[in-house]
Chain A
């Protein structure tokens, strides 16, 4: 079982709210990722980090931001949520030099 955690698991909020999705891993992995996945669709990379103070945007344009102040923590923030942000958000991590991605359980976000 991978030691990567996401909270909350489910979130229903109103339009315009600011939210932060939490992701933590206890494996000491340098690389961390955020993906967005709609039902039956592929995972889209929205942000990634190769270490502390390193963050990059992924392939999918996103209005979210991330930070990496500590190795184990990679939160994702939406300043003003919209219905188009409704989706599943998956966090993953990889050890330095490795390729296997360990995924968290995901956060199912619904914006009304």
Chain B
């Protein structure tokens, strides 16, 4: 069955460092992959989309890579700030359907 794996444990990093979050998937051939941010008690907010034929996408301090051979996406936040603390969800998109991972909680320590 299709499975999306994100770091189940929280990631704690020092302010100013680069945070790297991982999304692995199995039994899936997504046409695209998305990353969302979710704050406690709120709905997710879209951050970035990367298509299956793209290797890397950047937006300000964010960078996403997509390796369809390894079935993995890496999400980087450079120069992290305490305001970046949240849960980050990866979502795989295909025909008519998007499947979300459980998310990784990021805590940026001042």
B36 / chain A contacts, CB cutoff of 8 Å? 101
Tell me which of A40, A43, A106 contacts B100 (CB under 8 A): A43
Does B41 interact with chain A (Cβ within 8 Å)? Answer: yes
Does B42 interact with chain A (Cβ within 8 Å)? Answer: yes
* A103 with B44, Cβ < 8 A, contacts A42-B101, A43-B100 known: yes
A101 / chain B contacts, CB cutoff of 8 Å? 34, 36, 44, 46, 91, 98
A106-B32 Cα distance, complex, nearest whole Å: 25
Q: Chain B residue with minimal CB distance to A39?
A: B40
**Which residues does A use to contact B, with CB under 8 Å?**
2, 35, 40-43, 45, 59, 90, 92, 99-106, 108
B46 / chain A contacts, CB cutoff of 8 Å? 100-102
A94-B73 Cα distance, complex, nearest whole Å: 23
Cβ B32 vs Cβ A99 within 8 A: yes
**Which residues does B use to contact A, with CB under 8 Å?**
4, 32, 34, 36, 41-46, 49, 89, 91, 93, 97-103
A92 / chain B contacts, CB cutoff of 8 Å? 43
A99 / chain B contacts, CB cutoff of 8 Å? 32, 34, 49, 93, 98
| Nearest chain A CB to B107 CB, angstrom units | 14
Cβ B41 vs Cβ A103 within 8 A: no
B43 / chain A contacts, CB cutoff of 8 Å? 90, 92, 103-106
Q: A45-B97, A100-B49 are in contact. List 18 more A-B contacts (CB 8 A).
A: A2-B45, A35-B100, A41-B102, A42-B100, A42-B102, A42-B103, A43-B89, A43-B100, A45-B98, A92-B43, A99-B32, A100-B34, A101-B44, A101-B98, A103-B43, A103-B44, A103-B45, A105-B42
A103 / chain B contacts, CB cutoff of 8 Å? 43-45
| Nearest chain B CB to A23 CB, angstrom units | 11
B91 / chain A contacts, CB cutoff of 8 Å? 101
B89 / chain A contacts, CB cutoff of 8 Å? 42-43
